[in-house]
Structure 1
């Protein structure tokens, strides 16, 4: 048999890690990939080993070709060098072919690795690279590095920790939020506990609706999680006057959708226009809304913690985004009428007219 040793901080693990492992497994015709989370990586300050390991277990559940090693996590050494890990697996699998997987960005520093000459003799170092790698790189030859060219995955653990992306399995997302890791504390700081619960419920439903309609559920989840970050702020008018003066004459109860977009853009550094649009119109809607804007508008209104039976509307949204959205709009109009709420502002009327015009 042959094994690929894949070490890393995995803080947290994401689909980039998983897809690279699957790609290497195929290209090298190996039998197993061994994920080796590090305990005390130099130059990094990860969250607890227990949380990282729990998320790895969640992410790799059901993956029969992946093994999770506790070797470095269980080590009592203050620093684990790659040579220590490699020697452990050489002793464990003395007659098997071992590959040691690295990113191409690590190749430049290979000559600074502790006992790199010994490493290159014990295992086959494999670097994952973009297609245009420098094949005459001196260190590739010196340490007999095998390069496999693969797809570039535009995601990093840093992106997930800062809510720039959530390109990781749903179970990992839920673990992060449930255990208040990474970005969760900042999101929670913007709102009361009840508002936070509503936001999480909205995010989960938005994820499910997007997934059912063949869309990226992580985009919908991010929009849902932070859609109400401005709802309870006391400086809404100031934000509106400075950044959205064209909407200052709109009813004040919708200010938070604009201020929410502002906070998402400036504090969380969200630059995905699909997320920003969804937040910007989640209360009122508007004409010609994008798909994720429709999802968030609906999820915000019908998420399960709302005090009414929304099962049929949820199923309608999951079944067909276009027709389900119209059903949600009709239900929202009925709600406004039952509560004598004035919904005649420009944006809401544009939304209702645009999407329900066939029935008016």
Structure 2
């Protein structure tokens, strides 16, 4: 089985997450995508974060594709770091072929993630184009460090079978939706209602 791992705060989950997942399913020829709803991103303000159970419930409502499973693995293992989660999954599911999925916006800050280079050696990475971040793969610090491991986009379907480090940047239709923008709109609506 080829499994895409799509981690994030999902604060809130939205149709853009579904779009990224469907792009990965199609272009990487994955069997499933697991949404890994994080208990908290160490690089983001925890005060902006809705409770985990609410984010998981909302993600399940958005994840209408039967090939997508919503999980809370990070909280279950007591970690907020991707590297810990990926090591845990590799130990428990050694027969699955995992691919880490991230948006191009995340690649821009990937070098700030705990042990980002170790993450790249644990499993292949698929970077999905995002509005305003199409040039990120060319300029991101992590992209420079991992340049020799970049796979041609035409070979994207081979990614689950490649030994890491290996990564691909997938262009295509992009979703303008973002959790940050949705939270800002909610805040504006709440202030107008007062």
Matches within 5 A, 1:119-134: 119-129=119-129, 133=135, 134=137
Matched, 1:6 2:12: no
1:356 corresponds to: none
Give the Cα–Cα distance (whole angstroms) in 1 for the partners of residues 72 and 181 of structure 2. Answer: 25
The question of 1:71 aligning with 2:106 is answered: no
For the residue of structure 2 that corresponds to 1:40, the secondary structure is: coil
TM-score, normalised to structure 2's length?
0.75
Tell which has more relative contact order, 1 or 2 (C-alpha 8 A, sep 6+). Answer: 2
Q: How many residues align structurally?
A: 169
2:75 partner SS: coil
Distance change (3 Å), C-alpha of 1:73 and 1:185? farther
**Runs of 4+ in structure 1 over 6 Å off:** none
User: Structure 1 residues 118 and 161, CA, compared in 2 at 3 Å: closer, same or farther?
Assistant: closer
C-alpha RMSD of the superposition: 2.5
Distance 1:56 1:140, change over 3 A: same
Deviation at 1:187, TM superposition (A): 5.1
Once the two structures are superposed, the pairs formed by residues 155-304 of structure 1 within 5 Å of their partners are: 155-163=177-185, 185-186=190-191, 188-189=193-194
CA distance in 2, matches of 1:96, 1:116: 21
Find the structure with the greater CA-based Rg.
1
Structure 2 gap ranges (5+): 149-164
TM-score normalised per structure 1: 0.43
Name stretches of at least 5 consecutive residues in structure 1 with no aligned partner: 165-181, 190-360
